[in-house]
Structure 1
Amino acid sequence: MSLKRKLLSAAAIAPFVFVLLPASTAHAHGYVSSPASRQAQCAARVVSCGAIQWEPQSVEGPKGLRSCSGGNAGFAELDDDNKGWQVTPVGRSLNLTWRITAAHATSTWEYYIGSTRVAVFNDGGARPGSTVNHTINLNGYSGKQKLLAVWNIADTANAFYSCIDINVS
């Protein structure tokens, strides 16, 4: 085979090779790592999940949503309350840690149980470090609850979403 034919063959095959290569993990954003959020459980293979296991930090969607998936159809399994999520026993005070992989300017961090906002922290545009810690007061709640954590970005219309299954005693 001539050199010209070899080069043409290689050029014809190249696009298919890139399609078959695994996608790299996105290097952006953040999620609640402790207690283990639903996407943290997926990443640790505690619960069998799809694409979110490789991108736990990528649950991003428009601000104002109340879903674990952030409205992202590719991560819809995070909205499934019957998937077998591990439930973390907690007291009336809950310490949470966000793992940050890209430090976006932050307006607020919000926490919801059902439709009730149980805490808000205003960062006024500050950029977080590699972790962010918050303590949430859970007085008035007991039993199994789903806590929605929302990181509202200051300079975009988006937020990052993370759900944590807890049992308040």
Structure 2
Amino acid sequence: MPTRTGLAIAGAIAVLAPVAVALPAHSHGYTTNPPSRSSRCATGEVANCGPIQWEPQSVEGPKGFPAAGPRDGTICAAGDRRWAPLDDPRGGTWPAARMTSGVVSSFSWRFTAPHATTSFRYFITRNGWNPAQPLTRAALEPAPFLTRAYNGTRPGSTATHQGTIPAGKTGRHLILAVWDIADTSNAFYSCADVQLG
């Protein structure tokens, strides 16, 4: 016959088990269209990337960008020194996806563990920025050109957002995608090099 202590323990387990299952999973993700620097490293298109080649989904840092978040010069690596090769502009020679400004385009993410989401925001560099320098806030337009609010819902294993790169953008640019997580103090940062026609 079970003891009172045994019944109390069994009851506590029954109450706590659903809570443990409901805890949020560790989230990770990166942009695949246009391909992010971490994606290009993971596919082997770009060499000498360091450990990001095995963890393209792990570029996570403090949220609150642009008022807070990673400091200038470390934005593409989310302020994490392990991913520092993503901040190296390589003399402006990262492979760049061809896109067209002024028309609707697709912006896609791949997730290894979706998370409750506040929003996805996409920033682009100003005309005349220097692609041979690490990314800074001053190099970016001050407001995102595309924002998708999720209000705490979770994306699936992928997400695609439709948006328009501002007309008048031509030549080499960098798109910074920021995935703001709703229930942690972090965000994911994804830098993609583009060539605008």
Using structure 2 for the length normalisation, give the TM-score: 0.69
Specify the alignment match of 2:114 in structure 1: 103
Identity score, percent: 44
The answer to whether the Cα contact below 8 Å between 2:27 and 2:115 also exists between their aligned partners in 1 is no
1:40-59 aligned within 5 A: 40-48=39-47, 49-59=49-59
User: Relative to 1, partners in 2 of residues 1:81 and 1:136: Cα closer, same or farther, differing over 3 Å?
Assistant: farther
Per-residue displacement from partner, 1:116-167 (whole Å, max 9, x unpaired)?
3211110000101000001221123221100000000000110001011011
Pairwise CA distance, 1:100: 0.7
Q: Equivalents in 1 of 2:181, 2:27: separation in Å?
A: 13
1:88-167 aligned within 5 A: 88-92=97-101, 93-113=104-124, 114-116=140-142, 117-140=144-167, 141-167=169-195
Using structure 1 for the length normalisation, give the TM-score: 0.80
Per-residue displacement from partner, 1:83-132 (whole Å, max 9, x unpaired)?
63110110123311100111100001011111432111100001010000
What SS does the aligned partner of 1:52 have? helix
The answer to whether the Cα contact below 8 Å between 2:119 and 2:148 also exists between their aligned partners in 1 is yes
Q: Equivalents in 2 of 1:152, 1:132: separation in Å?
A: 14
Pairwise CA distance, 1:47: 0.7
Q: Equivalents in 1 of 2:110, 2:61: separation in Å?
A: 18
Pairwise CA distance, 1:77: 1.0
Pairwise CA distance, 1:28: 4.3
Of residues 60, 68, 75, the one that matches 2:76 is 68
- 1:82 matches 2:90: yes
RMSD: 1.5
| Displaced runs of 4 or more, over 3 A | none
Q: How many residues align?
A: 143
